Chain A
Amino acid sequence: MGTMTIDGKRVTFTDEKNVLSVIRNAGIDLPTLCYHSELSTFGACRLCNVEDDRGKTFASCSEEPRDGMVIYTNTLRLMKYRRTIVELLLAAHCTDCSTCDKCGDCSLQRLARRLGLRKVRFENTKERQPLDYSSPSIVRDPNKCILCGDCVRMCAEVQGIGAIDFAFRGTEAVVTPSFMRKLSQTDCVNCGQCRVVCPTAAITIRDNTEEVWEAIADKNTRVVAQVAPAVRVAIGDAFGLPKGANAMDATVAILHRLGFDEVYDTAFSADLTVMEESKEFLERLESGENLPLLTSCCPAWVKLVSERYPEFKDNISTCRSPQGMFSAVLKEYYRDEANAQGKKTVVVSVMPCTAKKMEAKRPNSFTKGEQDTDVVITTTELSKMIKESGLAFDKIEPESADMPFGIASGAGVIFGVTGGVTEAVIRRLMPDHKKDTLKMVSELGARGEDEIKEFSVDYKGRTLNICVASGLATAQKVMDKVKSGEAHYDLIEIMACYRGCVMGGGQPVNAGPRTKQARQEGLYNADNTTIIKKSDENPMIQDVYDGILKGKEHELLHNECFV
């Protein structure tokens, strides 16, 4: 608590971690390229330098606010320094903005423009490095890396993976997997969180839109889209919608206009997941085997368990993810010639997630030798397709999802936030769906900001111990405790992305704290406004069980094992 003078104006501060936050709260958008409030302070870009009353300059991201400080943020020399720093970065950068994937979203580009940089006085003498296309999820372009280290810290600190790190030093420094290998040769779990924080196009989403355009153009192909819950609260970012607004209906309409033959809601198959997973949970509780049950809807998490905790492989729920269930059921539906009517079916899933691209290619995402989900595109890629088409998102007449898989419960929708799966499963286990019961379930502890959420719930006289966490570093803390016997749970829900899929690796970037919160709230609001709250009350679910799924539940909804 104290006051400081920023550019001549008195500003009070409370518990801000650093001077930078105080400056930003005071309404000055001081430029930075290496600061993320959720990562440790690195101090590499030096753009956040400010000047004190004695003319001393210091980096505001790493200075504690002190009472009585007098600082200036926009003196002539600071402006010159910043411009030169950006100039130096651009001089060592392959600056082909107009054909760059990040053009328009790029922090470096934006800064160059904002600071009025007009000329780069130095030649780029760096040798061009090859791009790494080995991962199905992300592409690394070392030529565009500005060595801010955000990806490295994200991967190590938040995800606890450490697939990439700095190597060499000085002007030879690079960010790379060990021994300059390709990303596919590492234990990268494809979460794409590195890409979320990367300010430039050095890490981008592996683009699969071309395949979608081609499928749409093919007259003999039925192109079916499924849209994941988290997409609806983020897709509007690029089109000026209020943050976190539920744009599902507009998205459906847009997809139709883009040429998709059918558009469905993945929240529908999330309901299927709830049915299957709660059944499985009850069975395991009964038998006492393979507890705790580990959720399986996040492929990055599943990959982590199989690689780092192989002894818990059998604990992973055998349920396919909502994406997997949906595609399997849909493909099965069109295997019937009567339904197919001579057309080939291509399932495109629109996901907040880069790891889903990997999941779709996993051997157990195939049914009868066929890949269930043909193409996975992320929210960001869909935005691009919309922009390319020229369709006006804000002027489109909303439409609802197609039938027969177009109805979803609120429980299915909240899959997009951390704790959502758990809440949905508990709702299913509750004997009734009275308002009070639902309220009680929502207050059990699955929601909220805590790193690790532990709570218990009574089920038929038995206490179920549950743990909900997001972020894979946190997940590993949980697993280490389980492994050592320090913690005992019956159910563990993990989402690889901190806060859940709303903050997935494929979502639009540059989301500030308010956006993050708005996306979460957006999904809870969507839940609040649905009439159907519980998965088992979704009328379509019963139809599906009675129809297409009959006798094939296992084949279509479960995985044999995770490898």
Chain B
Amino acid sequence: MLDQSYYDKVDEIIEQYGRKESSLIPIMQDIQGEYRYLPGELLQYVAKEIGIREAKAFSVATFYENFSFEPKGKYVIKVCDGTACHVRKSTPVLEALYKELGLSKKKHTTEDMTFTVETVSCLGACGLAPTMMVNDEVHPAMTPEKAIALVKELRGDIV
């Protein structure tokens, strides 16, 4: 159960976009932005408030990659696997991160909720391939070593 503060926040977001069908995606984006995931209860609530069927809201939410019903880690690392990055060897970077954090294609978030590792197709900085994004910040010219060092730094490890 989510406490009232979540619903208050959502009310605020809904007010901003208005109670209409086309507000659904921006509202979900803002909720996701706020909590780094989209709690199912809130989606139900939004559907009711803006007057769309719950099955429809679920349908839209699951269509887009950015929405997640699972809480994400504090640092969301998106390793670019776009063409430019792929041909400049982004896969080893991803694999190094998986190994370092004990994650896999199926398991995206560490137990301690610190890191989530995902892939993304192009961050628009292809000139600096391979790239990755940590929360909103793009990191250029990655190597497996640089990626691991960054993770350690974020974790606050003394290297």
Rounded to whole angstroms, the CA-CA distance of A169 and B54 in the bound complex is: 17
> Is residue B56 contacting chain A, with contact meaning CB distance below 8 A?
yes
Is B58 touching A162 in the complex (CB atoms < 8 A)? no
Is B62 touching A164 in the complex (CB atoms < 8 A)? no
> Is residue A215 contacting chain B, with contact meaning CB distance below 8 A?
no
> In the complex, what residues of B have CB within 8 A of residue A167's CB?
58-59, 62-63
Rounded to whole angstroms, the CA-CA distance of A165 and B57 in the bound complex is: 9
Is B53 touching A165 in the complex (CB atoms < 8 A)? yes
> Is residue A419 contacting chain B, with contact meaning CB distance below 8 A?
no
Contact residue among A156, A166, A168, A178 (Cβ-Cβ distance under 8 Å from B54): A178
Interface size class of A (residues with CB under 8 A): 10 to 19
Residue interface bits A172-188, CB-to-B below 8 A is 1, else 0: 00001111000000100
Rounded to whole angstroms, the CA-CA distance of A37 and B62 in the bound complex is: 29
Nearest-CB residue, chain B, relative to A169: B63
> Is residue A247 contacting chain B, with contact meaning CB distance below 8 A?
no
Is B63 touching A178 in the complex (CB atoms < 8 A)? no
Is A162 touching B55 in the complex (CB atoms < 8 A)? yes
Is A168 touching B53 in the complex (CB atoms < 8 A)? no
Rounded to whole angstroms, the CA-CA distance of A177 and B47 in the bound complex is: 14
Q: How far is the CB of B34 from chain A (nearest CB, A)?
A: 21
Which of A164, A177, A178 has most chain B Cβ within 10 Å?
A178
> In the complex, what residues of A have CB within 8 A of residue B44's CB?
178
Nearest-CB residue, chain B, relative to A186: B55
Which B31-69 residues have C-beta < 8 A from chain A? 40, 44, 53-59, 62-63
Is B63 touching A168 in the complex (CB atoms < 8 A)? yes
Rounded to whole angstroms, the CA-CA distance of A169 and B53 in the bound complex is: 19
Which of B53, B54, B55, B57 has most chain A Cβ within 10 Å?
B55
Is B53 touching A162 in the complex (CB atoms < 8 A)? yes
- Dominant SS among interface residues on chain B: helix
> In the complex, what residues of B have CB within 8 A of residue A161's CB?
53
Is B63 touching A179 in the complex (CB atoms < 8 A)? no
Is A165 touching B59 in the complex (CB atoms < 8 A)? yes
Rounded to whole angstroms, the CA-CA distance of A161 and B53 in the bound complex is: 8
> In the complex, what residues of A have CB within 8 A of residue B56's CB?
156, 162, 165
> Is residue A163 contacting chain B, with contact meaning CB distance below 8 A?
yes
Rounded to whole angstroms, the CA-CA distance of A169 and B56 in the bound complex is: 14
Is B40 touching A166 in the complex (CB atoms < 8 A)? no
> In the complex, what residues of B have CB within 8 A of residue A162's CB?
53, 55-56
Contact residue among B40, B55, B63 (Cβ-Cβ distance under 8 Å from A177): B55
Rounded to whole angstroms, the CA-CA distance of A165 and B60 in the bound complex is: 9
Q: How far is the CB of B24 from chain A (nearest CB, A)?
A: 13
Rounded to whole angstroms, the CA-CA distance of A167 and B44 in the bound complex is: 15
Nearest-CB residue, chain A, relative to B47: A178
Is A165 touching B58 in the complex (CB atoms < 8 A)? yes
Residue interface bits A383-412, CB-to-B below 8 A is 1, else 0: 000000000000000000000000000000
Rounded to whole angstroms, the CA-CA distance of A521 and B79 in the bound complex is: 65
Nearest-CB residue, chain A, relative to B54: A178
Which A180-233 residues have C-beta < 8 A from chain B? 186
Is B55 touching A165 in the complex (CB atoms < 8 A)? yes
Q: How far is the CB of A544 from chain B (nearest CB, A)?
A: 44
Rounded to whole angstroms, the CA-CA distance of A168 and B58 in the bound complex is: 9
> In the complex, what residues of A have CB within 8 A of residue B55's CB?
162-165, 176-178, 186
Rounded to whole angstroms, the CA-CA distance of A179 and B53 in the bound complex is: 12
Rounded to whole angstroms, the CA-CA distance of A163 and B53 in the bound complex is: 8
> In the complex, what residues of A have CB within 8 A of residue B57's CB?
178
Q: How far is the CB of A177 from chain B (nearest CB, A)?
A: 6
Rounded to whole angstroms, the CA-CA distance of A510 and B27 in the bound complex is: 42
> In the complex, what residues of A have CB within 8 A of residue B59's CB?
165-167, 178
Rounded to whole angstroms, the CA-CA distance of A165 and B56 in the bound complex is: 6
Rounded to whole angstroms, the CA-CA distance of A178 and B54 in the bound complex is: 6
Rounded to whole angstroms, the CA-CA distance of A161 and B40 in the bound complex is: 21
Q: How far is the CB of A488 from chain B (nearest CB, A)?
A: 25
Q: How far is the CB of B1 from chain A (nearest CB, A)?
A: 16
Rounded to whole angstroms, the CA-CA distance of A167 and B55 in the bound complex is: 8
Rounded to whole angstroms, the CA-CA distance of A166 and B59 in the bound complex is: 5
Rounded to whole angstroms, the CA-CA distance of A166 and B58 in the bound complex is: 9
Q: How far is the CB of B111 from chain A (nearest CB, A)?
A: 24
Q: How far is the CB of B25 from chain A (nearest CB, A)?
A: 15
Q: How far is the CB of B73 from chain A (nearest CB, A)?
A: 22
Nearest-CB residue, chain A, relative to B57: A178
Q: How far is the CB of A499 from chain B (nearest CB, A)?
A: 25
Rounded to whole angstroms, the CA-CA distance of A168 and B54 in the bound complex is: 14
Rounded to whole angstroms, the CA-CA distance of A71 and B136 in the bound complex is: 53
Rounded to whole angstroms, the CA-CA distance of A168 and B55 in the bound complex is: 12
Which of B54, B56, B62, B63 has most chain A Cβ within 10 Å?
B62
Q: How far is the CB of A301 from chain B (nearest CB, A)?
A: 18
Nearest-CB residue, chain B, relative to A160: B53
Rounded to whole angstroms, the CA-CA distance of A431 and B53 in the bound complex is: 47
> In the complex, what residues of B have CB within 8 A of residue A168's CB?
62-63
Which A129-177 residues have C-beta < 8 A from chain B? 156, 161-169, 176-177
Q: How far is the CB of A456 from chain B (nearest CB, A)?
A: 33
Rounded to whole angstroms, the CA-CA distance of A186 and B53 in the bound complex is: 10
Q: How far is the CB of B28 from chain A (nearest CB, A)?
A: 14
Nearest-CB residue, chain A, relative to B63: A169
Rounded to whole angstroms, the CA-CA distance of A161 and B63 in the bound complex is: 21
Rounded to whole angstroms, the CA-CA distance of A179 and B57 in the bound complex is: 10
Rounded to whole angstroms, the CA-CA distance of A361 and B106 in the bound complex is: 43
Q: How far is the CB of B65 from chain A (nearest CB, A)?
A: 9
> In the complex, what residues of B have CB within 8 A of residue A178's CB?
44, 53-55, 57-59
Rounded to whole angstroms, the CA-CA distance of A164 and B54 in the bound complex is: 9
Q: How far is the CB of A442 from chain B (nearest CB, A)?
A: 38
Rounded to whole angstroms, the CA-CA distance of A243 and B56 in the bound complex is: 38
Rounded to whole angstroms, the CA-CA distance of A120 and B55 in the bound complex is: 34
Rounded to whole angstroms, the CA-CA distance of A293 and B99 in the bound complex is: 68
> In the complex, what residues of B have CB within 8 A of residue A166's CB?
59, 63
Q: How far is the CB of B40 from chain A (nearest CB, A)?
A: 6
Q: How far is the CB of A184 from chain B (nearest CB, A)?
A: 14
Binding site for B on A (CB under 8 A): 156, 161-169, 176-179, 186
17 contacts between A and B (CB under 8 A): A156-B53, A162-B55, A162-B56, A163-B55, A164-B55, A165-B53, A165-B55, A167-B59, A167-B62, A167-B63, A168-B62, A169-B62, A177-B55, A178-B54, A178-B55, A178-B59, A179-B54
Given contacts A169-B62, A178-B58, list 19 more A-B pairs with CB under 8 A. Answer: A162-B55, A162-B56, A164-B55, A165-B58, A165-B59, A166-B63, A167-B58, A167-B62, A168-B63, A169-B63, A176-B55, A176-B58, A178-B53, A178-B54, A178-B57, A178-B59, A179-B54, A179-B58, A186-B54
List of 7 A-B pairs having minimum Cβ-Cβ separation, nearest first: A162-B53, A178-B58, A165-B59, A165-B55, A178-B54, A178-B55, A167-B62
